Amino acid sequence: MKNLIRFDWAVKRLLRNKANFGILEGFLSELIGEDIKIESILESESNQDSRYDKFNKVDLLVKNSKEELIIIEVQNNREHDYLLRILFGTSKLLVENMNVGMVYSQIKKIISVNIVYFDLGQGDDYIYHGTTNFIGVNKKDILKLSEDQQLLYKTDTIAKIYPEYYIIKVNQFNDVANNTLDEWIYFLKKDEIKDEFNAKGLRQAKIELDILKLSQAERKEYEHFVEQERYEESLIVSNYKVGELKGELKGELKGKMQSKLEIAKRCLQKEMSIDEIVELTGLSRIEITNLNRTSE
């Protein structure tokens, strides 16, 4: 077992502690590109512990000093509808934070950070950032805020008032850390922090996420979590391989059947008897009779 605790388990168990906010602040600051200060960890229906933990969805809802809401989610297992699920998550959070009588200008900014350990969509990068902009249909210009709107929203860009999405495809990272954000991605993938890494939050992470600092009960719980994750990953791989083999076999059988039918067609054209064709191809009399009717 490696010396450092996996980030997904740390998010669910350790990083909610105010003493460890510096770790999360460092990660978010490197990702978003601005100094993030966490005011509090919030609870909602989506991030409370439940019997559905086995699905490996880890939610952490953070409010920063700018009153922005940041969702951090770690997803280990493949989900084909994941892009729509993160849309649902931000939409639900937006509605949950709308009070009766609240004016629209008070709607909180939402940032959705998604760390995925499976191949999501098609793309060569390992970090994607999604925003909302309005592009002119005819002149292709970007719609901007008026001066009054800039004062109202406290920003000069429309994209900054709509939800933003970050997707980190961990497994696609090539293990070469070219900058401080890459150092964080390296940790997310390898559960290791090199001595020369200087990204915000990583030095604290190297100390606080040491497995040896866990109590005996916590360590036992963590080991169970790791083993459960390995088991579920093995099931997914096994099911995928079984499906792949079934697909190959089905394709082979279909190809063989098509070949037999082609031979039977040629035999019928040569006016061979059905009994002769049955013996030659192994097809049933019904299959050959139906083929004969189709070709008539």
Instruction: Report CA-CA distances (Å) from 249 to 93, 161, 242, 255, 260.
Output: 46, 52, 10, 10, 16
Continuous segment of H or E residues that includes residue 112: strand 110-116
User: Which amino acid is residue 200, in one-letter code?
Assistant: K
Each residue's pLDDT tens digit in the chain (296 positions)? 478 999 988 888 888 888 999 999 999 999 999 999 999 888 654 444 444 444 445 578 989 998 899 999 988 777 778 888 899 989 988 888 877 677 888 888 999 999 998 888 888 899 999 999 999 999 999 999 999 999 988 888 999 999 999 999 999 999 999 999 999 999 999 999 999 999 999 999 999 999 988 888 888 888 888 887 776 666 555 555 555 556 666 767 677 788 888 888 888 887 788 888 888 888 888 888 887 666 55
Q: What is the dihedral of CA 50, 54, 58, 61, to 10 degrees?
A: -10
Continuous segment of H or E residues that includes residue 39: strand 38-42
Kindly state the DSSP code that residue 163 receives in the 8-state scheme.
Answer: -
Instruction: Report CA-CA distances (Å) from 128 to 93, 115, 142, 249.
Output: 21, 11, 21, 38
What is the reported pTM? 0.72
State how beta strands 57-64 and 38-42 pair.
antiparallel
Report whether 127 contacts 115 (CB < 8 A): no
Kindly state the DSSP code that residue 260 receives in the 8-state scheme.
Answer: H
Kindly state the DSSP code that residue 55 receives in the 8-state scheme.
Answer: G
Kindly state the DSSP code that residue 4 receives in the 8-state scheme.
Answer: B
